[in-house]
Amino acid sequence: MSTFTDPLSYEFMRHALVAATLVGGLCGMIGVYVVLRRMSYIGHGMSHAVFGGAVVGYVLGWNFYLVAGGWGFISALLINQVTRRRQIGADAAIGIITTASFAFGVALISRGKHFTRNFDAALFGNLLGISNQDLLLIAATCVVMAVVVFFLYKQLLFITFDPEVAPTYGVPSQWIDVAFALILAATIIVSIKIMGVTLIAASLVIPPVIARLLTNSFAKILALSTLFGALTGFAGIYISYYQNVASGATIVLLAAALFVVAMAISVIRQYLPVASATQERPGRIAVLPQDLDVH
């Protein structure tokens, strides 16, 4: 059998490939809003917060998605409220909420040494153990998110670009903020098994940044980022299989390599003559340096 079809003979690999492709595309799509809304740090923090819920669910033997989902939902609302308060810096407050939750999970894990293998998987992602139930949930989440982004496209674009002005044009900003916090929480929860807690933020950030380097149009960035996310997810699982490296780490490293290529294209374009007067080069990245800070 060929290099391509060989891994497909294993059920766990078929599951992992579908899951990583869907999760990669989902993170790429939602990541566009995360990056442009300057919420990368929130995404990073929320994945850590969800870890606390995941461990509690594991220890109690309850359904992972129910506990992590509830935990993520509460974290998202807390973060949403905290970021509206002015007397505490939003980043500091988010840091307290999310790292306390993460530390709670670590404390629980450190009491039972037999968790070590699962602990590694939760932190860095593992292509083993994607069940049919996981796949169904990932697929359902992708469909719901695609529908939400499709029908709220105009309102989401307005509020992302101009959060102060959008409400004056009738965009229900408070509802959309809460909805977006939930979207982010759901994205992180369904991504956690394949990507790992510590690497989800990168899969939210890198695909949109690559797309930003290649185009100036929001609609094109959304499409390209989803595509890059799905591609790196798919290819990352193959590399993970052959190189025996954690799936989350492989996907992120592949995305980072694509980023370097896109950056090189962007730099080369700067030195090429512009094709027409009505076009201009994309590539000034609308992200802060900390958006790329992946721990």
User: Where do contacts with another protein occur on this chain (CB under 8 A)?
Assistant: 36, 150-151, 153-155, 157-158, 161-162, 164-173, 212, 215-219, 221, 278-280, 282, 284-286
Token pair listed for 275: 């094709």
Give the list of residues 6+ apart from residue 145 with CB closer than 8 angstroms, or none: 26, 29, 30, 183, 186, 187
Joined tokens for residue 252: 């992120």
Minimum distance between the CB of residue 259 and another protein, rounded to whole angstroms?
16
Nearest distance from residue 68's CB to another protein, in Å? 31
Helix (H/G/I), strand (E/B), else coil: 21: helix
Measured from the CB atom, is 133 or 216 closer to another protein?
216
CB of 85 to another protein, least distance (A): 13
**9 or 279: CB nearest another protein:** 279
Q: Which is nearer to another protein, 40 or 155 (CB)?
A: 155
Least separation in angstroms between CB 22 and another protein? 21
Of 184, 153, 142, 165, the closest CA to residue 39 belongs to 184
DSSP 55-98: HHHHHHT--HHHHHHHHHHHHHHHHHHHHH-SSS-HHHHHHHHH
With tokens 């307290």, the residue in question is: 96
For another protein, which is the closer residue by CB, 138 or 205? 205
Cβ distance to another protein smaller for residue 110 or 217: 217
The rounded distance, in Å, linking the Cα atoms of 201 and 218 is: 21
Say if CB 211 and CB 29 are below 8 A apart.
Answer: no
CB of 277 to another protein, least distance (A): 9
